[in-house]
Each structure stands twice: as C-alpha cells, then as structure tokens.
Homo-oligomer: A and B are copies of this chain.
Amino acid sequence: MSIEVVRLDPAREQLAYAFGGREPLLTVLPGTVVELTTEDCFGGAVRTVDDLPSQVCAFPYLNPVTGPIAVEGAEPGDAVAVHFADIRPVRDWAVSSTFPHFGALTATHTTAMLHDALPERVWLYEVDVPGGVCRFQARGSEFEVELPLDPMHGTVGVAPAAGEVLMSISPGAHGGNMDTPELRAGTTAYFPVNVPGAMISIGDGHCRQGEGEVCGTAVEAAMSTVVVVDLIKGAAPAWPRLESADHLMSTGSARPLEDAFRISQHDLVGWTASLLGLDALDAYQLVSQAGLAPAGNVVDTTYTMLAKLPKSILGHATAYDGIHSHLRGIAERYLAER
C-alpha cells in the first residue's frame, strides 16, 4: 500500500495565532503523511541577542501555528491521532528569552505583584543537527555548554468545543500550548474532535525544553516536521492523550497546578481501568504505584501536567487497537523511503 504524502508550507500571512474559528489550509484523508513547516514562537523576529521580544513582536501575533488541517470524516465524538514522525530544526540557530511578566519565577499579569518585571534577555543557541546538540552561551559570564537536541512541538491541538476561539498560547482540553517535551518524534497525540474536520494546528517547535519551561520559553526554532494523521471513530478522550514506544500519557491543563495533576491522573486511571478491565479503585492503586508525573508547562495561561504509565504493565492490552504502532509503521516506511 502506498503512503499518501501531502505538504503544507504556509505563507507568513497564512499563519494562525489561535485554535478555532479558522478555515482549513489543507484537508486530508485519515492515514495521510503531512510534511509541514512551522515558524518559531517569535515569528522568526528574534534573530540576535539584541532583538528583545517585547520590542520586535506584537501581541497577539505570538506563537504562530501551521494549520488548521481538516481530517475528512472527523466528527464531534471522534478522536484524531497525530503521530510525530520527524521534527527537524530548519536553521542552525535557535533562541530563547525571558519576557516581561511571563514565566514561573516572576510576577505575571495573573500572579499580580508590585515588582517591576525581571530583565528581558535573549539567548542565541547554535544548533548542530548532525551533531545532535545545541550550545548554550551564558550572557553574564563566559560559561558555555552543549545540550542534547531533543526536538519537540510545544503546541499542537484541534479547534476547541463550544465554538470557542482560544489564543495559541493557551493549553486546554483541545490541546494547544501544552509545552511538554514528550511531544517529540515517535509520539502519537490523541485529541477529541469538537468540530467537523477536527482542525489540527501545530507550532512552537523547540530544539529542547526542560520540564516546566520555567523561564517561559524553550530553545525556540522553526521546524520541518512530518506527522501522520489518523481518525478513530467514536473514541474522543476528555483530554489530550499521548503514546510513545514505552508509555501511555494523559494530560491535564488547568490552574492551580494540582488541578492539572488531578485531571491527568483521573484520565489515566480511567484509561488504565478500561484497558486492563479493572475497577476504578484498582486502577487508582496501580497508577499510584507505577505512574510518573512530570510537569509540562508552569508558565502559560493554564499549566500542564502529565500522568505516565509504562506500557510494560499492560500485557497484551493496547490503546486504540494498536493505532500507535500502525502509525509508527507508516512513519518508518515514509522515513526509509524519503
């Protein structure tokens, strides 16, 4: 069977800054491989350490996303699967920065305080894709260190429910700016479909990111990315779920952070119960002993936590009839043939 491959290279004026309320740039059949490009969260406007984001970027034109991509046949109540086949930095540099009143260790517009903003500072990273590293250079001293590349997308999701249109920097039940390093190549993300076609958008590529994205930005980069998109009829999860080679993951995005934790754990307990035929209390117990709970972001309009379960304890059970392996197979064939 041949693989359907389509390409999406949006022009600058086609970039979107929200989830919902947009016409699709592309419509694909389930099972299609989509090669796409994404601009960085600054719209490419921060190119030197002197390009302060608050000066060169204009709210709300931040965090552009590529899409939406409509999936044929997707109806509310279904799930769409987005498998990340490949995520590759486009340039040999990337940037990060602090931003006034944004981040986890600063007063913000929500955690409002009488402090002046922390200084705005930009870091330029050299990106060595063949070498698999990016280079951090301190601004206030001579320190340098290489960090492993671990490319990912901070933002991926679908049109929200209830006709809402949400800024691309907001994570929620529709996905969006979850900012978890788990969204790397090899991972499949599952989203609930809220509108016909689902309307998938992707952006905010990171060469790498720590858990929590503490200062508010990652190693931000334009990306050349390949995803395989699929449809699972009638299987809408309440919140985005992820699957990697080794783990099932539920996400929750909310404030306070314990509510993001609760949402993600509650979803994972229910998912585990249904996969293993357990009652809720037994699944609660099993997740309590076997699960992991890393932070996604603790800086955006809502915070994101993940609940992770090793697939090793699932025995023969597979999520969504093994669609992750199926999509991984397509991705590997595509990559081999490319």
- Cβ distance A80 to chain B, nearest Cβ, rounded Å: 21
- The residues of B that contact A257 with a CB separation of less than 8 Å are 256-258, 261
- In this complex, the interface size class of chain A, counting residues with CB under 8 Å from chain B, is 35 or more
- The residues of B that contact A212 with a CB separation of less than 8 Å are 261, 265, 288, 291, 293, 307
Does any Cβ of B come within 8 Å of A132's Cβ? no
Does any Cβ of B come within 8 Å of A18's Cβ? yes
Query: Residue of B at shortest CB range from A170?
Result: B164
* Interface residues as binary, A138-155 with B (CB distance below 8 Å gives 1, 0 otherwise): 111101010100000000
Does any Cβ of B come within 8 Å of A329's Cβ? no
Q: Which of B104, B278, B288 contacts A265 (CB 8 A)?
A: B104
Of residues 100 through 125 on chain A, the ones whose CB sits less than 8 Å from some CB of chain B are 103-107, 109-116, 118-119, 121, 123
Q: How far is the CA of A103 from the CA of B281 in the complex (A)?
A: 12
Does any Cβ of B come within 8 Å of A60's Cβ? yes
Please give the residue numbers on chain A whose beta carbons come within 8 Å of chain B beta carbons, in ascending order.
17-18, 20-21, 59-60, 96, 98, 103-107, 109-116, 118-119, 121, 123, 136, 138-141, 143, 145, 147, 161-167, 208-219, 238, 252, 254-259, 261-263, 265-267, 269, 276-282, 284-295, 298, 303, 305, 307, 313, 315
Q: Give 12 A-B pairs besides A21-B163, A104-B265 with Cβ atoms closer than 8 angstroms.
A: A60-B163, A105-B266, A105-B269, A110-B262, A114-B118, A114-B266, A138-B286, A140-B278, A165-B165, A214-B265, A215-B288, A256-B258
